[in-house]
Structure 1
Amino acid sequence: MAPIGVQAIYHNDKELGSAEIAASLGIPYIHSTAATSSIEEVASANGSGHRWFQLYWPKDNELTKSLLSRAKENGYEVLVVTLDTWTLAWRPSDLDNGYVPFMKGVGTQNGFSDPVFQEKYRRTAGKEIEDDVVAASSAWNADLFSSQGDRHTWEDIAFLRNHWDGPIVLKGIQHVDDALMAVRSGVQGIVVSNHGGRQVDGAIASLEVLPEIVDAVGDKLAVLFDSGIRTGSDIVKALCLGAKAVLVGRPWVYGLGIAGKKGAQDVLLGLLADLDLTLGLAGLQGVQDCKRAVLRKVAYGGDVHSAY
């Protein structure tokens, strides 16, 4: 289950319901930094399930260390670092509606519950978070998403390795050169992703670059795939092109919005059934049979890019 922030805007079950059903289905749940439930609350809801923590990487090293420490103490197994959203993109529909829930303290729960952020805000603002939620939200978001000042570099990955003793996965890779840099940085995996098309208008589809990235990195790290998975055949295609696993986002969130955690569960059950049937109908005995030779790329007239 891909990291999805601000789930309370879809349903009151929010991240707690999503984490609960992930555990019941045996699917790893990735908890977003931009969540409406805290690291600790989601760990409790997920129980004995497999949970990963997605990091929007703060500029403040002490704050980063605190988030990582909380995740480790609460049984999160893998660190997923988002690279493509160090600042929020130009999103006209959000701007048209004046809709940025982060600025009203929605999706800031991991920050507001963090002792390092609490002390930092108390020291710099001279008041408590609850005294001025809007100002506290601005302070939290500035550390995560502001375009001001220096951002993290490849060399900073060493800091994460020093403060996280589990696998590290870099999310948002769309170029072979960056995939090779990830190998050199010593991480254990990458997620080929364009952030669901929400960051760069006109960015290439993740599936277009997946096979060449897989060929470039070989078995040096695990390649996962994200952005656009909607059906069982989508999963099969990504696996055949070399992905070890896929992340699914929007479909189960639609289910969450319609019927809470039960809706999200039904979507995932349907997707798993679709995957199973697709494998069988294609003559494949399991995901281990998903090889590139299974696929045929068919070019249609409408597929020709106008710039060619």
Structure 2
Amino acid sequence: MAQDQLPLINGEPVDLSGIINLFDFEKMAEGKMTKMAYEYVASGAADEFTVRWNRQALDTLKLNPNVLNDVSTLDTSVTLFGHKLPYPILVAPTAFHKIMHPEGELATARGASKAEAIYVVSSFTTTPLEEIKKVASEPLWFQLYVRDDKEFTKNLVQKAESIGCRALCITVDTPVGGARNRQARVNFKLPEGVNAPYANGEMIQKMPLTWKEMEWLISFAKVPVLLKGILHPDDAEKAIQIGASGIIVSNHSGRNLDTVPATIEVLPRIVERVNKRIPILMDGGIRRGTDVLKAIALGANAVLVGKPICFGLASGGAEGVTKTLEILRAEFEMAMALTGRSTIASIDKSLIWK
């Protein structure tokens, strides 16, 4: 790529041609981000066992390929809530994108749109929803922390709906913040001039968050509502009973409660209980196309990717986000072909070596 066509970070051109995989993006991002920003994105809670287990559990799963199947044409499309996605990878909600790149969520939205991916905007966005919507050519979803101010919460839901967000992801695993030691050591705070317009002055939700509040929110939402942070089959059942449209199996990327199991380990139990009644998404540790394949094989309808998007954003703005998604999509397609699967429907648990 010519020098004048390279993405810019703080006015300086950035060459992404040497980026081969998502781990490369993290290495590049660490050299470009402030220490405070990098620690915020990369760190987990307490001793970070769950952060490591998310990766280790995916790495430990072995694949069981079939050969001599016709994989000359692959169909990676999935449909979620009436919308057809070209591949089952979404941009997970992550906070404060302007600490990673000057254009913040605008660059994320542009990058996700170019890669044909749904972007789930965090309620801790540093860019107003109306501005993000203007640059997004692919659908947006909105992630919500429920506040102690019900009127504020309802107004925010209605704002997200009014600008066209097609689904709401309600984070249900954060009644309090986790013991984020690395984040505390760098005294994390938003830099001067950066603010989160929907944080309402708080970094965590204060309302006593119960199933009753979830029922209340679902009662007036006009778009599908997914509960994000489900790890227990009983909670998955309750989500269905109160009318949730989907669930996201998530341990908050190991950032809240340390020593909970990896999401890929939890997933089969949730899938068994839900029994295809509502879609199940999963996040946590996804770095390779084989990880996506394993999640689909164990019953997820799609996965969400968070930290790698942040590192792609920090490394190359919108282009970094696009390349992150394109690498993961290409690896997923390779993994499908090399295991003898040509469609999403043909990916099942027989793909996992026992």
Letter in 2 for 1:265: T
Cα deviation for residue 69 of structure 1 reads 1.1
1:22 to 97, 112, 120: 112
Letter in 2 for 1:100: K
SS in structure 2 at match of 1:81: strand
Q: Take 1:93 and 1:36, find their aligned partners in 2: how far apart are those partners?
A: 22
Alignment match, 2:316:
259
Q: Does 1:84 align with 2:173?
A: yes
Cα deviation for residue 105 of structure 1 reads 7.2
Cα deviation for residue 110 of structure 1 reads 2.7
Equivalent pair of 1:39/1:110 in contact (CA under 8 Å): no
Does the C-alpha gap of structure 1 residues 46 and 83 become closer, same or farther in structure 2, counting only changes over 3 Å?
Answer: same
1:62 to 151, 154, 160: 151
Alignment match, 2:188:
99
> Structure 1 or 2: larger helix share?
1
1:32 to 105, 122, 127: 122
String of CA shifts for 1:18-49, please: whole Å, max 9, x gaps: 111222222111000011111111111214x1
Q: Take 1:54 and 1:99, find their aligned partners in 2: how far apart are those partners?
A: 22
Alignment match, 2:197:
109
Normalised to the residue count of structure 1, the TM-score between the two structures is 0.82
Alignment match, 2:280:
223
Higher relative contact order (CA 8 A, sep 6+): 2
Equivalent pair of 2:111/2:320 in contact (CA under 8 Å): no
1:273 to 306, 330, 333: 330
Letter in 2 for 1:51: L
Q: Residues 241-260 of structure 1 correspond to what in structure 2 (within 5 A)?
A: 241-260=298-317
Equivalent pair of 2:105/2:126 in contact (CA under 8 Å): yes
Q: Take 1:155 and 1:169, find their aligned partners in 2: how far apart are those partners?
A: 15
Q: What are structure 2's unaligned runs of at least 5 residues?
A: 1-90
Does the C-alpha gap of structure 1 residues 23 and 201 become closer, same or farther in structure 2, counting only changes over 3 Å?
Answer: same
Q: Take 1:296 and 1:106, find their aligned partners in 2: how far apart are those partners?
A: 48
1:10 to 97, 100, 114: 100
Cα deviation for residue 177 of structure 1 reads 1.1
String of CA shifts for 1:103-158, please: whole Å, max 9, x gaps: x67451234xxxxxxxxxxxxxxxxxxxxxxxxxxx6206x434xxx512102222
Does the C-alpha gap of structure 1 residues 67 and 272 become closer, same or farther in structure 2, counting only changes over 3 Å?
Answer: same
Q: Take 1:169 and 1:107, find their aligned partners in 2: how far apart are those partners?
A: 26
Q: Take 2:95 and 2:342, find their aligned partners in 1: how far apart are those partners?
A: 35
Cα deviation for residue 87 of structure 1 reads 2.2
Q: Does 1:145 align with 2:234?
A: no
Moved more, 84-93 or 240-249: 84-93
RMSD value, Cα: 1.6
Equivalent pair of 1:170/1:189 in contact (CA under 8 Å): yes
Letter in 2 for 1:219: K
Equivalent pair of 1:94/1:100 in contact (CA under 8 Å): no
Aligned length: 264
Q: Take 2:124 and 2:303, find their aligned partners in 1: how far apart are those partners?
A: 21
Moved more, 161-170 or 189-198: 161-170
Letter in 2 for 1:98: N
Q: Which runs of 4+ in 1 moved over 4 A?
A: none
Q: Take 2:175 and 2:194, find their aligned partners in 1: how far apart are those partners?
A: 19
1:73 to 136, 142, 162: 162
Equivalent pair of 1:78/1:167 in contact (CA under 8 Å): yes
Q: Take 1:224 and 1:35, find their aligned partners in 2: how far apart are those partners?
A: 22
Q: Does 1:53 align with 2:167?
A: no
Aligned-pair identity in percent equals 34
